[in-house]
Structure 1
Amino acid sequence: MKSIATLTMNPTIDVSYDIARMQHTHKMRTDNEWYAPGGGGINVARVFVRLGGNARCYYLSGGATGPALDGLIDLHQLVRTRIPIAGPTRVASAVFEQESGKEYRFVPRGPKIAEHEWRDCLERLGAADCGTMVMSGSLPPGVPSDFYARVTELLRPRGIELVLDSSGTGLAHGIDAGSLLLVKPSQGELQAYVGRTLDTPDAIGKEAMRIVETGKARLVAVTMGHKGAVLARAEGPVFLPALKIEAASAVGAGDSFVAGMVYALHAGKSETEAFRFGVASGTAAVLRAGAGLAHPVDIEDLLQQLQPL
């Protein structure tokens, strides 16, 4: 299996807590304090390696919180290439309220990136040695909205396959650069890209197929939360309904989906088999509160419950 690399332009230190009940003004004591390295590409790498693959993380890191992120990545035994920045790495929090069973998430925008910093990142990526580059997560302030398109244009001539999971203009420019192996928008992100509401799997499938038919991506996997997911490919769209589970968290579900699907493709699985593996991986990520992401034992169990395609 060829190794992959992941790109995280706006990483996080993910902190999770449990509390009995949310209250304004009052000091709330927490339990089960837990820290993890986070952000799209880092999350993808964590799950991909957990499944048995090899991955290198490219990410920006800086300020007083940067060394803490670097240390957390090392604790997870991930191979890393750090691009130094002046601004502080952001800290995101997930708070699970035990009384209601609801999770509250607080996610900063991230530090402002100087031009020389994002250009340094492009230069480092130009030397990447991998079969696939997974570009995942938001673009922080200061990074041009066509950054993922620039990465695609840089790496595509070298035969490196590109996977994209982002939002807004970063996603739009990345799709329009074309020739992606896989793009994974959510239902809301695809609606923003096409500029209209898509409220059925058929409508989603038709718009996703336009991306495939115009050569912008070989595969388009659109996640729809509790409603399931749609895969567009050359042979046409397929829909997979979601499993009925009790979701404890939403942290890293999309990243786990990408990691699982890319892992299965690298393992030689068919496109539909890889799609099922991605759905099982994304579902596994929400079974537990916090930022633990998907675990292989849960993925295999859920895979047996998904309908065949």
Structure 2
Amino acid sequence: MPDVVTITMNPALDIATSAEAVVPTDKVRCGQPRYDPGGGGINVARVVRTLGGDALAVFPAGGPAGDALDLLLDRDGVPHQRIPVAGSTRESFTVDERRSGQQYRFVLPGPELSKAEQDLCLETIAKTAADARFIVASGSLPPGVPADFYQKVADVARRLGVRFVLDTSGEALRQTKSGVYLLKPSIRELRERTGRELRTEAEQVAAARGLILDGVSEVVVVSLGSQGAVLVTRDAHESLAPIEVPIRSAVGAGDSMVAAITLGLARGMDLRDAVHLGMAAGAATLMTPGTGLCRREDVERLYSAWRLRAG
């Protein structure tokens, strides 16, 4: 059985391409497209697999795009459990503008899931994660799924005795009240969750620790983009410097960070080392174009460089 089971409630067929310039009205002539299976938890499973770990990706999918997800995950050798749904899986479209170096990301909402389909997702998670060490939920919720769905996943994890890792935003984050082992909000998501600006590190730490004291999560890792990250527990915190790399695309960087943190913990790393492995994976994904995720050799090189600096 896998160490890590991921759930992606709103998966996507990711399409990436490039164009000289993105302009209104005129046809935008694009380069050859790249197709990848996408969505937060699917990306997490892909990165765990890339780094030599064992993960199962669970997701609801339907229609031609859902069929394409199956084929692409088979292509990449990622074990997966598809939950059939009536609606068609969404597509997401990313265009890199060669002239400016800017990236344009077009994200569709996804199909509406019925109550029966939602219940089947929870049942499938409970069955597939019975012997896992971690359940990871990452990404948005599709139409029709109530904002407290991830709380229901947390409750499943608690019943199974499995640690739950969560990376989400908006109302889905606000409605998750307990049962999370590790929460990874971005600074924007933490601001939205608390309703405060959180301009200083002290304010960020206090906000993260507030979630811990309220019983939402045992550990909070706040990603700060180009400013690095902050690791917060009940009794301590640490500011983590960013890993400087040339940036080609930000798609999947947060998911890669979550994947490597979870894999590191599953392999027995201490929390600090696992978070640094996550930062290395996130940085390595920034180096890849379009919807591509990190390469194992880049992650290992960046992590080893940090270990040398840390002594």
TM-score under structure 2 normalisation? 0.94
Query: C-alpha offsets along residues 63-103 of structure 1, whole Å, 9 cap, x if unaligned?
Result: 23211111111111111111111111111011111111111
**Amino acid in the other structure paired with 2:160:** R
SS of the residue 1:87 aligns to: coil
Q: Give CA deviations for 1:119-139 in whole Å, capped at 9, x if unaligned.
A: 121122221232211011100
For residue 300 of structure 2, what is the aligned residue in structure 1? 300
**Cross-structure match for 1:256:** 256
Partner of 2:156: 154
Partner SS state of residue 31, structure 1: coil
Distance 2:204 2:258 in 1: 18
Question: Which position in structure 1 is the counterpart of 2:290?
Answer: 290
Give the drift of 1:297: 1.2
Q: 1:241 aligns to what?
A: 241
Report the more deviating stretch, 9-18 or 66-75.
66-75
2:185 is matched with: 185
Q: Deviations over 1:27-65 (max 9, x none)?
A: 222224210000000000000011111111110101232
Task: Give yes or no for contact 2:113–2:145 (8 Å, CA) kept in 1.
Answer: yes
Residue 205 of structure 1 corresponds to: 205
Alignment of 1:59-74 (within 5 A): 59-74=59-74
Q: Does 1:220 align with 2:240?
A: no
Question: Is the CA contact 1:16–1:290 (under 8 Å) kept in the aligned structure 2?
Answer: yes
1:38 — aligned with what?
Answer: 38
The code of the aligned residue for 1:281 comes to: A
After superposing the two structures, state which structure 1 stretch, 243-252 or 3-12, moved more.
Answer: 243-252
Out of 164, 167, 188, the position equivalent to 1:165 is 167
Q: What letter is aligned with 2:91?
A: V
Q: 2:295, 2:54 → 1: CA distance?
A: 16
Tell whether the 8 Å contact from 1:62 to 1:88 is kept in structure 2 after alignment.
yes
Report how many residues are paired.
307
| TM superposition shift of 1:303 | 2.1
Contact kept? 1:18, 1:96, Cα under 8 Å: yes
**Is the 8 Å Cα contact of residues 8 and 60 (structure 2) preserved in structure 1?**
yes
CA RMSD of aligned residues (A): 1.6
What displacement does 1:235 show?
Answer: 3.5
Matched, 1:109 2:106: no
> Does the alignment pair 1:281 with 2:242?
no
Runs of 4+ in structure 1 deviating by more than 6 angstroms, as ranges, are none
Amino acid at match of 1:233: T
Give me the whole-angstrom Cα distance separating, in 1, the residues matched to 2:100 and 2:302: 26
Could you tell me which amino acid in structure 1 is paired with residue 180 of structure 2? L
CA distance in 1, matches of 2:223, 2:214: 21
Task: Output the CA distance in 1 between the equivalents of 2:66 and 2:288.
Answer: 27
**C-alpha distance in structure 2 between counterparts of 1:287 and 1:230, whole Å:** 22
1:136 to 138, 144, 150: 138
SS in 2 for 1:260: helix
The 1:243–1:125 alpha-carbon spacing in structure 2 relative to 1, beyond 3 Å, is closer
Shift of 1:213: 3.1
Structure 2 residue 272 is matched with structure 1 residue 272: yes
Checking the alignment, whether the CA contact within 8 Å between 1:220 and 1:233 is kept in structure 2 is yes
Report the counterpart of residue 3 of structure 2 in structure 1: 3
Q: Aligned partners of 2:181 and 2:295: how far apart in 1?
A: 24
- 1:209–1:237: 8 Å Cα contact kept in structure 2? no
Cα shift at 1:308: 3.1
Matched, 1:92 2:77: no
Question: 2:2, 2:56 within 8 Å by CA — same for their partners in 1?
Answer: no
Q: Which runs of 5+ in 1 are unaligned?
A: none
The structural deviation recorded for 1:305 is 4.2
Mapped contact 1:66–1:89 kept (Cα < 8 A) = yes
- Contact 1:205/1:238, CA 8 A, preserved across alignment: no
Contact 2:183 2:221 in 1 (8 A): yes
- Give the counterpart letter for 1:124 in structure 2: T
Instruction: Give the Cα separation in 2 of the matches to 1:69 and 1:137.
Output: 16
| SS state at 2:15 partner | strand
Which deviates the most, 52-61 or 110-119? 110-119
Given residue 35 of structure 1, which amino acid in structure 2 is its aligned partner? Y
The residue type equivalent to 1:165 in the other structure is D
1:2 is displaced (CA, Å) by 6.0
Structure 1 letter corresponding to 2:93: S
| Corresponding position of 2:127 | 127
Q: Is the Cα–Cα contact under 8 Å of residues 112 and 142 in structure 1 kept in the other structure?
A: yes
Distance in 1 (CA, whole Å) between partners of 2:222 and 2:191 is: 10
The offset of 1:218, in angstroms, is: 1.9
Aligned twin of 2:22: 22
Taking a change above 3 Å as real, the CA distance of residues 2 and 35 of structure 1, as seen in their structure-2 partners, is closer
Find the aligned partners of 2:73 and 2:154 in 1 and give their Cα distance. Answer: 25
| Alpha-carbon separation, structure 1, partners of 2:204 and 2:295 | 29
